[in-house]
Amino acid sequence: MHALGRRSGPLEALRTDLGEAVVPWVVDVDDGPALRAAFAALPGVDVLVLNAGLCATAALGAPESVAVWQAVLRTNLDGVFHGLEAALPHLPRGGRVIAVASGLGKLGRAGYGAYCAAKHGVLGLVRAAALEWAPRGITVNAVCPGWVDTPMARGDLARAAEQAHRPVAMLRAEAEAGIPLGRFVTAEEVADLIGFLASPAAAMITGEAYNLSGGAFTS
């Protein structure tokens, strides 16, 4: 398994967790030419998971809104585009592509305009690519998690708590109260859904955006 990311530390940690079968590549999805060069050096791409993401917030009209917009769109939407373009020449018939979008690709949230726009864009791109690549037997799908218990989500809660001058635990409890099944999704549950979409059982599923939110959103 080849793992691409912009920082060597997390890649090496992944290799420690999963073993020597993981081959790390340091490359940034923001850099289209570098990403294409990296894919050209790979032996092949049977399954592509597009999981790079950046969560930064700014209300419309805030001093930092333009910088946040550019940074988030560059990674969360342009990065998916660059990944698709780089992988296409190397995907065989029957290849699988799974993009990690978000519930905010279907919803809105105050202060998250850039993130919402990027994730909505990912879903549009997934649906277009699914139709374009169907003649080659390549499926393209998205997963749309709600709150997932990850360092990025915990950091998001911490920033929100700091801005609101409230305890993090209180904000997390409120977030969990909005989830009908009563808890955050685990990273393993997201991985399981991705694994299903990459499996032979999902051969006739394409252009879909699967919710994984404990019932927090259903559309």
Q: Name the residues annotated as catalytic.
A: 115
Question: In Å, how far are 86, 134, 213 from 92, measured between CA atoms?
Answer: 13, 12, 32
H or E, element range at 5: strand 2-5
Both tokens of 73, joined, read 């769109």
Instruction: Give the DSSP letter string of 14-71.
Output: HHHHH-TT-EEEE--TT-HHHHHHHHHHSS--SEEEE---------TTSTTHHHHHHH
H or E, element range at 122: helix 113-133
Collapsing DSSP to helix, strand or coil, 73 comes out as helix
96: Cβ–Cβ under 8 A, 6 or more apart, which residues? 46, 47, 48, 138, 139, 197, 198, 202
